[in-house]
Amino acid sequence: MPTRCHRFRVLLLAAAGLLVLAALGVRLYRLQVVHHEELKRLADRQIGRRILLPARRGTIADCNGNVLAHTVARRLVSVDPKAIAEIERAREKKKRPSTRAAFARILADQLALPYAEVEEKLARDSRYVVLARKEPADAVERLQAALAPTGLLGALGFADDPERLYPNGSLMSHVLGYVDAEQRGVNGVERVMQADLRGEDGWRAGETDNRGREIVAYRREDFPSRDGYTVVLALDQAVQDLCEQELDRAVAAYRPDSAVAIVMRPATGEILALASRPTFNPNDPDKQVDSLRNRAVSDLNEPGSTFKVVTVAAALDQRLVTLNDVIFCENGRFEYAGRELTDHQAYGNLTVAEILAHSVNIGAAKIALKLGKERMYAAMRCFGFGERAFGDRPTEAWPGEVRGIVHPPRQWSQVSITRVAMGHEVGVTPIQTIGAVAAVANGGNLMQPLIIRRVLDEKGVAVREFFPKVRRRVMDPRAARELTEALKRVVSQEGTAAKAAIPGFQVAGKTGTAQKLVNGRYVHDRHVSSFVGFFPAEDPEICIYVMLDAPKGKVQYGGSVAAPVFREIGLRVASYLNLRPTVPVPVGAPPAAGASLAVSSEGDAP
């Protein structure tokens, strides 16, 4: 019979049980009600996962739709060495044979890696080791199938690792630029159009198991990615190719330190080709800094006699001279402000047109003296020198472009005006020079260079378009026509650029040969040789600029070195664009492709 002591013990145990239950109830209440949201967040953090759905970078195409840059799907293969060790220990306890050696051998064979390297990575004390990058999706599928029998496939990880490909190698590399490891544009179009090319990443919300693998049944949200847009350029792949071929021939023949060639439509400012040497392959991650520089926009040189176009243009536009005005050229020696200016020949009386045709320094200096400092400076700035050709606004600026050097008149010496007139004491870029001459060709409008034409969405619908833009009017059409007539004489038997003549077309242009500054002094054996011209002169379709920096050989004049390159590019561009000849083609005219660029002993004027 239960005693009072027994009943007391039962009641005590019941009370203790009730207290435990009450404590559990309070604890459950705090967990399920009071701290519900906080604990839910912690749980989501542990098993929940927001999976990134990366967008594929957009394509870059030329004006005809040819693909210049695109992104292909690739996979990154990683391994968890600690997981392999855990699996192997579990197999050993069950007295099952090890498959680690077979696993390593298959990895080495399938990923084309040295077996010793794979073994070293599998032996690391780590949870994450990269085995291979940029593996094609089908290769990864074959790898997974081969590894399945080993039972160690779960120790591998796979992630998207897209690869940017440039199918034409180095072609157009300075225009296209390249991307970094994070698929961000570093230079060229890749950088300028980063916002359009990168697209918008998506994401997926769900839950994962203890190995971080998604549990598809618990997938909650799905926000799809939007791939990058297609960027269509004004450049033409075929024109670029032939331009680079001719530039490479010139580099092989003259061995310059660097070289640039640009092809532009003067009426619109569209760049059809832009080549710079040395060059690089954007597919190759190892890039030399010197090769990466786009010299067409970043390199400064004294332009030499090509700058006489600006001097004469300003004087004609302000009606200070006419082409038939006669100027005494001092028989080759002209002393001004205590300094002597010389010419390559002893010229006497010459017309303004003849001064351009023979590239006479003293004649150009006297024309500049008619203009005066202020008007000469204003003309240089009006033609775009001393400012970025593409503009300064973020939506227009081109990576690496420099303004150039144009000193204001207050910084000029007494002789500066006579030197500036022939392209000394100024620093200009190739893109500025071709823009200035293209303004003469189109009747007086300085155009903004146009490289990008439109941006297309995934359906091929234009979301943005870029149109020709006139920066300013630099001279009236009458003066432009007169100057064109004078520049036609440059590309004639009497002028300095007879080698720039293109059969079937009247060419207008100007040579340039500037001595290089070395340690603050002009040297006589190193020059920047250039030629810039346009054709057909009556109705210009194409403007071409060629520059060779420090060509090697006995003759380094622009008319002997750069003009023949202009001619070959012009011949091939005219054929490709099917331009109709405007003058009779001479009998026995040489073909365009592969013409010899052998150095001639014949000289020309600067």
The 10s digit of each residue's pLDDT in 469-503 is 999 999 999 999 999 999 999 999 999 999 999 99
- Provide the token pair at 334: 């002209």
Band (pLDDT 50/70/90 cuts) for residue 463 is very high
Dist CA 431 CA 424 (whole Å): 18
Band (pLDDT 50/70/90 cuts) for residue 10 is confident
pLDDT digits (tens, 9 = 90+) for 102-141: 888 999 999 999 999 989 988 888 889 999 988 998 888 8
Helices (H), 345-463: 352-358, 361-371, 373-382, 416-420, 430-441
CB atoms within 10 A of CB 598: 8
pLDDT digits (tens, 9 = 90+) for 545-581: 999 999 998 888 999 999 999 999 999 999 999 999 9
Band (pLDDT 50/70/90 cuts) for residue 45 is low
pLDDT exceeds 70 at position 41: no
Q: What is the pTM of this model?
A: 0.85
Per-residue pLDDT, 272? 98
pLDDT digits (tens, 9 = 90+) for 50-85: 566 788 999 999 999 999 999 998 998 999 988 888
- From 289, 297, 231, select the one nearest 62 (Cα to Cα): 231
Per-residue pLDDT, 215? 53
Mean pLDDT value of segment 371-390: 96
Mean pLDDT value of segment 153-168: 90
- Provide the token pair at 559: 């008319």
Per-residue pLDDT, 99? 84
| DSSP secondary structure letters along 143-211 | HHHHHGGGT-GGGEEEEE--EEE-TTTTTTHHHH--B-TTS-B-SHHHHHTHHHHS-B-EEEEEEE-TT
Query: Amino acid letter at 304?
Result: G
**472-499: buried (b, 16+ CB within 10 Å) or exposed (e) per residue?**
eebbeeebbebbbebbbbbbeeebbbbb
- Provide the token pair at 11: 């009641």
Average pLDDT, the chain: 88
Band (pLDDT 50/70/90 cuts) for residue 601 is very low
Contact between 535 and 542 (Cβ < 8 Å): yes
Q: Are strands 349-351 and 339-342 parallel, antiparallel or unpaired?
A: unpaired
Per-residue pLDDT, 602? 35
Name, in order, each residue with C-beta under 8 angstroms of 92's C-beta and a sequence gap of 6 or more.
98
Higher-confidence residue of 481 and 9: namely 481
Query: Amino acid letter at 426?
Result: V
Mean pLDDT value of segment 164-181: 95
Per-residue pLDDT, 520? 73
Per-residue pLDDT, 597? 44
Query: How far is the CA of 116 from the CAs of 87, 121, 548, in angstroms?
Result: 21, 9, 50
Dist CA 362 CA 368 (whole Å): 10
- Provide the token pair at 216: 């598809």
Band (pLDDT 50/70/90 cuts) for residue 595 is very low
Higher-confidence residue of 439 and 586: namely 439
- From 531, 523, 496, 509, select the one nearest 604 (Cα to Cα): 496
Contact between 536 and 470 (Cβ < 8 Å): no
Dist CA 416 CA 430 (whole Å): 22
Per-residue pLDDT, 593? 40
Dist CA 105 CA 112 (whole Å): 10
Higher-confidence residue of 455 and 21: namely 455
Mean pLDDT value of segment 337-356: 93
pLDDT exceeds 90 at position 203: no
Per-residue pLDDT, 182? 87
Per-residue pLDDT, 359? 94
pLDDT digits (tens, 9 = 90+) for 384-437: 999 999 988 766 789 999 999 999 999 999 999 999 999 999 999 999 999 999
Per-residue pLDDT, 603? 36
pLDDT exceeds 60 at position 592: no
% of the chain beyond a pLDDT of 90: 62
Q: Convert 420-440 into a string of H (helix), E (strand) and C (coil).
A: HCCCCCEEECHHHHHHHHHHH
Band (pLDDT 50/70/90 cuts) for residue 594 is very low
Backbone angles phi, psi at 552, to 5 degrees: -100, 145
Per-residue pLDDT, 390? 93
Name, in order, each residue with C-beta under 8 angstroms of 464's C-beta and a sequence gap of 6 or more.
196, 454, 455
Contact between 553 and 307 (Cβ < 8 Å): no
Dist CA 336 CA 328 (whole Å): 14
Give the DSSP H/E element, type plus range, for residue 316: helix 308-317
Question: What is the domain class of 237-302+377-411+420-576 according to CATH?
Answer: alpha beta
| DSSP secondary structure letters along 503-572 | TTB--EEEEEEEEEEETTEEEEEEEEEEEEEEESTTS--EEEEEEEES--SS---HHHHHHHHHHHHHHH
